Amino acid sequence: MPLNNNAYNAFISLAKNTDNLISKTPLITVAIKDNIATKQLPTTCASKILSNYTSPFEATVVRQLIDAKRYSLVGTTNMDEFAMGSTGLHSIYGPTINPLLEDRVPGGSSSGSAASVSSTEAMLSLGTDTGGSVRLPAAYTSTLGFKPSYGRLSRHGVVAFAQSLDTVGLFATDINILKQAFMDLDKYDPKDPTSMADIYREKLNKSNKKRDPNQPIKIGIPVNLCSGLSSTVKDAFINWINTNLLSNTKIKVEIYPLYMEILNMCLPVYYTLAPSEAVSNLARFDGIRFGSRKSTLEATRSLFGDEVKDRLILGNYNLCQDSFHDTYMKALKLRVQIIDEFDSIFTMQNVYTDSKGNSDGLDYIISPTNSDLPSKVADTKKGNNNVKEYIADILTVPASLAGLPALNIPSANKGIGIHLLGQFGDDHGILNFANSVY
């Protein structure tokens, strides 16, 4: 049975003998989000319907950690059920506690992965990011949280929420550990149909070599997205820009205001597409193929928690006859426009769309990761923050919809993060740039 004897309820299951699970000479302790399959421990997705499930195989990313022989497994981490939620409170194993701000939510859905690193119970953790589920908890717990470009890390063995958005992500407090883990996992996987093929990886390597290191780095700040920031976040963001960019002698930067009107559409597009894909993905949990079984399908499906049910209802509505063309299909078209808009802004080419890149464009886009401080746990449990919970990802979903790499960097203020966003495939560029400003 899963154990719950950790201080911040960050773990669902704890490894009994960490030295033998991954490496005989462990260097880096690692925690795995409970929707990423391991053979040694249960994979429950923090849900009643999978409470007794142990996978017969391990996810590719877990196998890659084993093969690297530099990691030691601590356990599997708590999360919002089936990765649906932005608070870390929607788990059958109880809420994850924010190690830095115990009266405030740790963020979700990768709450335990963030808390395990923030509390130093693990040096590295794996999470999943669909609309901000790595970056938001990283901001709330003041850790590094990296969402790679879509397709760079394998999703084989990861329980799907929304396949066109889901990305395995990484948490750490040491940028070098984050970079090492990314290099160990950044490989093509034939078992994952969405894995980036080697031909595109080779194109990216050539593109990165063309950069002139003597040229200033051009940074865009999305004015329209930053207009709704709380005063606390705005002050922290301005302070970070002044301290870490403008006063930084390691790098030369140029900062430009950026207005992308289409970014205002990202949140409704996300909440149209993600729940719709979830409807299909969670249909397999019927008590026959996967999941615990009750006497009727209705009783079996009742094992889902309230947040999952709410999103499935929304997804079914988006796919019904009356809404499909006006809502779902329109969202798909807008998503293409969002990708095209980013392609027109960045200097680097998008190897998937064959965009030529804008020679006068930007290298990176920087904004806060969260628009306000984490909500108080007491208020959230009372249902006072239902709307706030759904709009918490407003600054992170654009990267998810376009499949772009994005990294949360902690600011000097607890619970407030800085969001660094780059062109598709520019993962190493983001990590190297972060090394200069973190």
- Reported as half-sphere exposure (CB side, CA atoms, 13 A), residue 55 has a value of 21
The radius of gyration of the chain from alpha carbons, rounded to an integer in Å, stands at 20
Examine the residue annotation and report whether 142 is marked as an active-site residue of this protein: no
Examine the residue annotation and report whether 436 is marked as an active-site residue of this protein: no
Examine the residue annotation and report whether 109 is marked as an active-site residue of this protein: yes
**Which of 23, 51, 55, 109 is flagged as catalytic?**
109
First to last CA, the chain: 40
State the Cα–Cα distance between residues 137 and 129, nearest whole angstrom: 10
Residue type, 167: T
- Assess contact for 371 and 395: CB atoms under 8 A: yes
Q: From residue 101, how far is each of 139, 290, 368, 377, 413 by CA, in Å?
A: 12, 37, 19, 10, 11
CA 321 from chain center: how many Å? 32
**Which of 111, 116, 133, 400 is flagged as catalytic?**
133
**Which of 23, 33, 116, 179 is flagged as catalytic?**
33
Q: At 425, list the tokens.
A: 């495939």
Buried b / exposed e along 303-323 (16+ C-beta atoms within 10 A)? bbbebbeebbebbebbbeeeb
Neighbours of 357 (CB within 10 A): 16
State the Cα–Cα distance between residues 33 and 249, nearest whole angstrom: 38
Q: At 181, list the tokens.
A: 């883990």
Alpha helix locations (H) across 327-426? 330-345, 377-381, 386-391, 397-402
CB neighbour list of residue 102: distance below 8 Å, 6 or more residues apart: none
Q: Is the peptide bond before 109 cis (omega within 30 degrees of 0)?
A: yes
Catalytic residues: 33, 109, 133
